[in-house]
């Protein structure tokens, strides 16, 4: 009876030693396989040729391409041009589908544009849409200065006169309807002038006086053409 008990004890000890040895060898094998491949950092499944095949929880799987080669990586945050998409099986980095977007919240909503582009309602613009002004500090399109319609062109004049010259200037204006929220955002011009031809070339000073005009000597030559 004692011999049988002794034999059973030896068998149990041998099994324990074998199990511990197998675990130790598996750990050493895992360190040897993954330790020499830095690309396998954060992976739950990895190969030396393709990199990560699956990631540890909370990390994002990113498929990097270099020429004809591609390999998987496990990242805490997705790189520029990608956003993190969480899923029950594995979190992945998906590409932003918005043109000129540097980072996005989802495939169709950008949060930061590439250099030289302005962000507006999840899209990227080289120039802000009408009614919005570029805010250089954040590279966003903000509410701009709203102006009313142009008035009709005014009377053609020069030096506050509507005669005595061949050419003058006519002006039109418009009013500011809504000021921008930031004082540093300029409003568009509210007045502009253009060259015009005067309707009356000669000025009449009164009865008994010669007309001022192209052939008049009094006051000198007034025509600027």
Burial 10-40 (b: 16+ CB within 10 A, else e): eeeeeeeeeeeeeeeeeeeeeeeeeeeeebb
Q: What is the pLDDT of residues 170-204, one digit of tens each?
A: 999 998 887 776 666 778 888 999 999 888 778 87
pLDDT of residue 220: 41
Instruction: Please calculate the CA angle 155-159-161 and round it to the nearest 5 degrees.
Output: 50
Q: pLDDT tens across 108-146, in order?
A: 899 999 999 999 999 999 998 887 888 888 899 888 777
**Alpha-carbon gap, residue 62 to 82, rounded angstroms:** 9
- Tell me what percent of the residues of the chain surpass a pLDDT of 90: 19
State residue 203's pLDDT score.
Answer: 82
Per DSSP, helices labelled H in the chain are: 2-35
**Pairwise CA distance, residues 54 & 207, whole Å:** 102
Global pTM?
Answer: 0.44
Element (H, E) at 106: strand 101-106
**Mean of the per-residue pLDDT values of the chain:** 76
Place of tokens 């005014």: 154
């Amino acid at each position: 009876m004692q011999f049988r008990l002794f034999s059973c004890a030896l068998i149990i000890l041998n099994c324990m030693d074998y199990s511990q040895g197998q675990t130790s060898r598996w750990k050493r094998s895992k360190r040897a396989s993954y330790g020499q491949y830095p690309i396998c950092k954060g992976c739950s499944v990895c190969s030396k040729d393709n990199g990560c095949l699956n990631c540890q929880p909370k990390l994002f799987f990113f498929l990097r391409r270099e020429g004809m080669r591609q390999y998987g990586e496990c990242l805490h945050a997705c790189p520029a041009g990608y956003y993190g998409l969480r899923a029950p099986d594995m979190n992945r980095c998906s590409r932003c589908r918005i043109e000129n977007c540097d980072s996005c919240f989802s495939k169709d909503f950008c949060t930061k544009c590439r250099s030289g582009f302005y962000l507006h309602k999840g899209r990227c613009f080289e120039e802000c849409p009408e009614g919005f002004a570029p805010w250089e500090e954040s590279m966003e399109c903000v509410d701009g200065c709203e102006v009313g319609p142009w008035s009709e062109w005014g009377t053609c004049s020069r030096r506050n006169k509507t005669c005595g010259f061949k050419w003058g200037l006519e002006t039109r204006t418009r009013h500011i309807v809504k000021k921008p929220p930031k004082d540093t955002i300029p409003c568009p011009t509210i007045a502009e002038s253009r060259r015009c031809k005067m309707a009356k070339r000669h000025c009449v000073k009164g009865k008994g006086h010669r007309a001022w005009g192209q052939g008049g000597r009094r006051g000198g030559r007034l025509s600027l053409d």
